[in-house]
């Protein structure tokens, strides 16, 4: 089977486009002919500005601006996420717990909720969330992150069930450790060769947004490398 990832000018809304994973994803989709809509500051080519992806009002305005500018949203790539070193569960502060859930889980929910009505109107769309290996099996001193990413996986599966038959698919990429500058800085003694290159995740997302992946929904696509 020949897999064609070239786009006919489809539109992807990418949150977290400037994060560790974002640039590789944006580059892959642009190379395949996608129009990329992302939060920007001071860019006259876009009606969007920087917005808080956990703020429903700000997200609503951003999605409306995207539809007004491009007429449709064919894919939503929820890339916003964070990780920080964490203490034992008895020492996790409320602020750290709340941050993990706000950045990793709430953003995916809020932006998806805003985009789904437009995709239902089109009767087509792709939503891709980013889970984590730790979200499938928690690890010590990682409780807040693992719990938030487990929520992302549950959200993905619930949305997929709700949207079956609508033309909208929802899937999750489940990486181990992504090879980003931030992760290298946080874990300088790790074996980086075992980690997942962002380009590999970008290519997987591009396939999930292709016509050949129209029958794939509610799946956890594991991208672990050797980590």
Burial level of 27, CB count in 10 A (0-12/13-18/19+)? middle
Q: Which of 129, 145, 149, 170 is catalytic?
A: 145
Residue 81 tokens read as 């996420």
Helix (H/G/I), strand (E/B), else coil: 219: coil
70 is catalytic: no
Report yes or no: 144 and 92 within 8 Å, Cβ to Cβ.
yes
Question: What span, in angstroms and rounded, lies between the C-alpha atoms of 16 and 138?
Answer: 24
Radius of gyration of the chain (CA): 17
Token pair belonging to 69: 């500018």
- Enumerate the active-site residues: 145
């Amino acid at each position: 089977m020949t897999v064609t990832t070239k786009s006919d000018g489809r539109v992807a809304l990418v949150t977290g486009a400037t994060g560790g994973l974002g640039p590789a994803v944006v580059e892959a989709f642009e190379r395949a002919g996608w129009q990329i809509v992302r939060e920007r500051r001071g860019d006259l080519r876009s009606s969007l500005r920087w917005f808080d992806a956990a703020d429903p009002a700000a997200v609503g305005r951003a999605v409306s601006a995207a539809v007004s500018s491009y007429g449709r949203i064919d894919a939503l790539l929820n890339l916003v996420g964070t990780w920080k070193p964490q203490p034992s569960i008895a020492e996790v502060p409320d602020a750290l717990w709340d941050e993990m859930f706000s950045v990793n889980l709430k953003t995916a929910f809020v932006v998806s909720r805003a985009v789904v009505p437009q995709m239902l109107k089109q009767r087509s769309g792709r939503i891709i969330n980013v889970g984590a290996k730790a979200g499938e099996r928690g690890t010590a001193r990682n409780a807040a992150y693992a719990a938030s990413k487990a929520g992302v996986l549950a959200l993905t599966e619930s949305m997929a069930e709700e949207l079956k038959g609508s033309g909208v698919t929802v899937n999750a990429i489940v990486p181990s450790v992504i090879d980003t500058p931030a992760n290298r800085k946080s874990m300088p003694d790790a074996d980086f060769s075992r980690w997942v290159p962002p380009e590999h995740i970008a290519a997987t997302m591009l396939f999930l947004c292709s016509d050949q992946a129209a029958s794939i929904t509610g799946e956890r696509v594991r991208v672990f490398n050797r980590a």
